[in-house]
Amino acid sequence: MSMMETGPIPAEAREAGLHPFEVGLGRRPANYVALTPVSLLARAAAACGARIAVIDGSRRFTYADLYGRCRRLAAGLAGRGIGSLDTVAILAPNVSEMIEAHFAVPMLGAVLNPLNTRLDPATIAFSLRHGGARALIVEAEYAALAARALGDFAEPVLVVAIGETGIDGAVPYDSLLAEGDPDYAWVGPVDEWQSLCLLYTSGTTGDPKGAVYSHRGGYLQALGNAVTFGLTDASVYLWTLPMFHCSGWSYPWASVAACATQVCLRKVEPAAIFRLIAEHRVTHLCGAPIVLSMIAHAPAHDRVPFPQTVRCAVGGAAPSSTIIRTMEDLGFQVTHLYGATESYGPATVCLAQPDWADLPETERYARMARQGVPLATLEAVSVADPATDAPVPRDGVSVGEIRLRGNTVMKGYLGNPDATEQALAGGWYRTGDLAVWHPDGSVEIKDRAKDIIISGGENISSLEVEEVLMRHPAVMLAAVVAKPDPTWGESPCAFLELKPGATEPADQELIAFCRERMARFKVPKSVVFGPLPKTSTGKIQKFVLREQARAL
């Protein structure tokens, strides 16, 4: 019997030459619902409503509480005129309200824009303008920063204040919740490709670029992280990673997908980390290498013993063997991840293989430092020759550019089609990171194609720092490169060539000059004066300066 004889087919379908699998099997409300991370909270509230979802200091919220608060916030924002695809920015530390915003704003079909609290007012103002913010949720600690960023806005912005901010006209967060309906009937996106979040990346030149996430991508990244990191309903996740960074690598959604408990932490301090791990039996945390360094080098009086093993995921520069060894001795199991703002955070994971346990310690730590293989929800990773686009051999020697493809790659950069096309050309997201591909399929970064400095998990554009330095009246040329830093992984090191006849400024004068014009984490920690090495065409030879910086 042929396939066309397996059942009755309408005459018009038969005449059109349609296959049985193309007839009467379309999408219906019963078999197709657009993916959205908001549904993860609805499910968690129904399945485990009495379970503690969030611990924030003395505050405790069950999943039923969290769902009700999110619905109230969504309804309150809607009542104030916020609607579909409006941008709602938030400037806050890792508090419960930050988690709530990750569900309430998408409930409206609006777009959440978590802002980096470490940035200067001008950069915050740029992000608010570029993203078209209709509302700004701000926590009291960052009231002054928000006020300066909003200083010359012509268009009115709804300001929602968490705590006492002193900002004129601000609506108290709790009052907005009181206005809202805990049974607010939110409707998911009609199209799962609808924009969900806007995350600004520091980039390498010019203004920040706004990476746009979709509901589909957020949902899948949440599940990918939950599976990769082994989250379950018995897990307790500690917020040592800023939620403004790639929406906390999607862990506000991933934790809820697993019905885990999230423990908020306003400020990353070793004593607080150890105390909360012991008090709440924390099982998982994420962070930049600086977080591991702080934990590993915590003084004895800050350390509190705990019986459980804590899984610790680290992104950015690979942790040193000394850090990994110390973390293991303290009761942490370290997993290395790799990704970018453009890939919703983690895109690859270093999966430990059974035979690693038999390797010498040095070799085992070297394997653990690899960037690894794709998360289950990423379609593919490739290491390709930038000149030919052909994959390099998986020999652990040939160098190429890491490229990513899948549903957890950004939609593109808001209002920047040229940058979007450049980043996503040829069917891959081009990371700009150079790596080798090992026979087991894992990738390992060898160098950075662009002169980005990764300090404490933050990307710093060398060109941006150079531009500020060259505003100094004594500086003629500036070149900034990464210098290895035992605390931050890398730190900016500035090489300066002075104008003829200029007096050499004191290091502290230059640092103070920079601090007035950029975020503190971007300020050079080392300054070297002298002629800069150049090619015959006058191009500064940064590879020479990198070697000099390593020797300092």
What tens digit of pLDDT does each residue of 76-88 get? 999 999 999 999 9
Closest CA to 215 of 67, 34, 355, 382: 34
Which pair of structure tokens corresponds to residue 235?
């897990």
CB atoms within 10 A of CB 261: 24
Q: Look at residue 7 and tell me whether its pLDDT is greater than 70.
A: no
- The H or E element spanning position 216 is helix 215-229
In this structure, is residue 546 part of a structural domain?
yes
Model confidence at 125: pLDDT above 90:
yes
SS3 category, 469: helix
pLDDT on residue 204? 43
**Which residues are 454's β-sheet partners?**
459
Q: Say if strands 526-529 and 489-498 run parallel, antiparallel, or are unpaired.
A: parallel
Residue 345 lies in a domain: no
Helix (H) or strand (E) holding 546: helix 542-551
Report the DSSP beta bridge partners of residue 288. Answer: none
Q: Is the pLDDT of residue 480 over 50?
A: yes
Q: What spatial distance separates the first Cα and last Cα of the chain, rounded to whole Å?
A: 79
The reply to whether 462 falls in a domain is yes
Q: Is residue 525 part of a domain?
A: yes
* Token pair listed for 79: 């009542």
Question: With 60 as the cut, is the pLDDT of residue 1 above it?
Answer: no
User: Does the pLDDT at position 457 exceed 90?
Assistant: no
Count of residues making up the chain: 552
Distance CA 92, CA 115 (A): 8
pLDDT of 144 strictly over 90: yes
Tell me the C-alpha distance between 36 and 220, whole Å.
9
Q: What is the per-residue pLDDT for 396?
A: 92
The C-alpha angle 253, 259, 260, rounded to 5 degrees, equals: 85
Could you tell me which of 94, 96, 112 has the C-alpha nearest to residue 104? Answer: 112
491: three-class secondary structure by DSSP: strand
Tokens of 296: 């590993």
Residue 256 lies in a domain: no
Q: Where residue 450 falls among pLDDT bands split at 50, 70, 90? A: low
CB 256 within 8 A of CB 305: no
Q: What is the rounded distance in angstroms from the CA atom of residue 27 to the CA atom of residue 455? A: 48
Q: Answer with the residue of higher pLDDT: 368 or 232.
A: 232
Would you say residue 488 lies in a domain? yes
Measure the CA–CA gap between 258 and 255, rounded to whole angstroms. Answer: 5
Structurally, the chain folds into a number of domains equal to 2
Q: What is the pLDDT of residue 539?
A: 60
DSSP-based three-state secondary structure for 514: helix
Match 């070793």 to its residue by tokens.
270
CATH of the domain at 470: 3.30.300.30
Q: Which of 431, 536, 532, 551 is nearest to 480 (CA)?
A: 532
Residue 2 has pLDDT above 50, yes or no: no
The pLDDT of residue 434: 84
E strand intervals along 438-535: 443-448, 452-455, 458-461, 475-485, 489-498, 526-529
Residue 364 DSSP SS3: helix
At residue 266, the pLDDT reads 96
pLDDT > 90: percent of the chain: 66
Flag whether 126 is in a domain. Answer: no
In degrees rounded to 5, what are phi and psi of residue 467? -60, -40
Q: What is the mean pLDDT of the chain?
A: 91
- The C-alpha atoms of residue 528 and residue 478 are separated, in whole angstroms, by 10
Q: Which amino acid is at 527?
A: V
| Element housing 223 (H / E) | helix 215-229
**Residue 362: inside a domain:** no
For residue 449, the model assigns a pLDDT of 58
Task: Select the more confidently predicted residue: 549 or 19.
Answer: 549
CA distance 420 to 203: 13
DSSP assignment of 38-88 equals: HHHHHHHHHHHTTSEEEEETTEEEEHHHHHHHHHHHHHHHHHTT--TT-EE
Question: Quick one: pLDDT at residue 179?
Answer: 95
| Band of pLDDT at residue 323, cut at 50, 70 and 90 | confident
Give backbone dihedrals phi and psi of 66, rounded to 5 degrees, phi first.
-60, -45
Give the whole-angstrom CA distance, residue 193 versus residue 545.
Answer: 45
Give me the sign of the Cα torsion angle 144, 149, 154, 155: negative
pLDDT at 202 over 70: no
537 pLDDT above the threshold of 70: no
Cβ-Cβ contacts under 8 Å for 485 (sequence gap 6 or more): 455, 491, 525
Residue 234 DSSP symbol:
T
Residue 538 lies in domain: 452-551
CA torsion angle for 202, 204, 205, 210 (degrees, to 10)? Answer: -40
Higher pLDDT, 536 or 521: 521
Q: How confident is the model at residue 5 (pLDDT cuts 50, 70, 90)?
A: low
Look at residue 501 in the predicted model and tell me its pLDDT. Answer: 82
Handedness of CA 431, 433, 436, 440 (dihedral sign): negative
Residue 506 pLDDT > 70, yes or no? yes
SS3 for 463?
A: helix
Cα–chain center distance at 102? 14
- Give the model's confidence band at 320: pLDDT under 50 very low, under 70 low, under 90 confident, else very high: confident
The pLDDT score that the predictor gives to residue 195 is: 98
Longest dimension (CA), the chain: 93
**Mean of pLDDT values over 139-151:** 95
Task: Give me the mean pLDDT over the 429-457 stretch.
Answer: 83
- The Cα 469–Cα 464 span in angstroms is 9
pLDDT of residue 317: 67
- pLDDT tens-digit map of 381-433: 999 998 899 999 999 989 899 999 999 999 999 999 999 999 999 999 999 88
pLDDT band with cut points at 50, 70 and 90 for residue 487: confident
